Amino acid sequence: MNPSLDPHSDELTAIVDAEHHVQVSLAQALRDTVQAGKDAALAGKILDQLTTYSDVHFLSEQLLMRMCGYPGYDDHVLDHDHMMERLEEARHRHDTGAQPLTLTETEALLTLLARHIGTQDRVFADYYRAWSRRETESTGQRSSTQPEHCL
Ligand SMILES: [Fe+2]
Ligand SMILES: [Fe+2]
């Protein structure tokens, strides 16, 4: 996410949505690769990308939550941490050759991610939009009530 963007703009929520699409696409690609029985190296590469991308996305989402004083922050972060643990464990098992990725595991990761986006992320997006509207309105009111000599 570009830190120079106006935190009150709709562009920011559009970027978060776009990041969710990338996350889900990577999780689907991982599931499809394992399902097709393609080489394990490719599955490992996609898993690496999904893990790294998710880590960055979760951190930027958490930054937004802190910025607007989101009351569900702790619960939401627990979900992020749980997902990162699952991804890191899968990556570790894959990298050490302890256990190849299974279809069941990749489907579970996809389900977990889709559920998070459809629940926790949706609730936060609603909260963020309402907060952003209030902030924009109060900023507008403040500037229109300033004494004339301040203009
Ligand atoms: Fe989230
Ligand atoms: Fe998210």
Q: What is the pLDDT of residues 11-25, one digit of tens each?
A: 888 889 999 999 999
Separation between Cα atoms, residue 38 and residue 31, nearest integer Å: 11
CA of 143 to the centre of ligand 2 (A): 34
Residue in the block written with tokens 């690496």: 48
Residue at 149 is within a domain = no
Is 151 within a domain?
Answer: no
Distance CA 144, CA 151 (A): 10
Q: Over 90: is that where the pLDDT of 5 sits? A: no
Q: Which residues contact 114 (CB under 8 A, 6 or more apart)?
A: 24, 27
Q: What pLDDT was estimated at residue 100?
A: 85
Ligand 1: centre distance to CA 87 (Å): 15
Ligand 1: centre distance to CA 113 (Å):
9
- Say yes or no to pLDDT of 117 above 90: yes
From the CA of 17, how far away is ligand 2's center (Å)?
8
- CATH number of the domain where residue 66 is located: 1.20.120.50
Question: How far apart, in whole angstroms, are the C-alpha atoms of residue 46 and residue 134?
Answer: 40
> Is the pTM above the cut of 0.75?
yes
How much is the pLDDT for 98?
A: 81
In a domain, 150, yes or no: no
In a domain, 55, yes or no: yes
Residue range 40-96, pLDDT digits in tens: 899 999 999 999 999 999 999 999 999 999 999 999 999 999 999 999 999 999 989
Overall domain count for the chain:
1
Is 130 part of any domain? yes
17: its two tokens: 């949505």
Range 31-46 average pLDDT: 91
Q: Is 2 contained in some domain? A: no
Q: How far apart are CA 29 and CA 45, in angstroms?
A: 11
Q: Which positions ≥6 away from 137 have C-beta within 8 Å?
A: none
- The domain containing residue 89 runs over which residues? 10-144
Question: Is residue 73 one of the residues assigned to a domain?
Answer: yes
Ligand 2 centroid to residue 73 C-alpha, Å: 12
Residue 8 backbone dihedrals phi, psi, to 5 degrees = -100, 5
Ligand nearest to the CA of 18: 2
Question: According to the model, what pLDDT value does residue 9 have?
Answer: 65
Residue 131 lies in a domain: yes
User: What's the pLDDT score for residue 151?
Assistant: 33
Q: What is the pLDDT of residue 48?
A: 97
Among the bound ligands, name the one nearest to the CA of residue 62: 1
C-alpha of residue 23 to centroid of ligand 1, in Å = 11
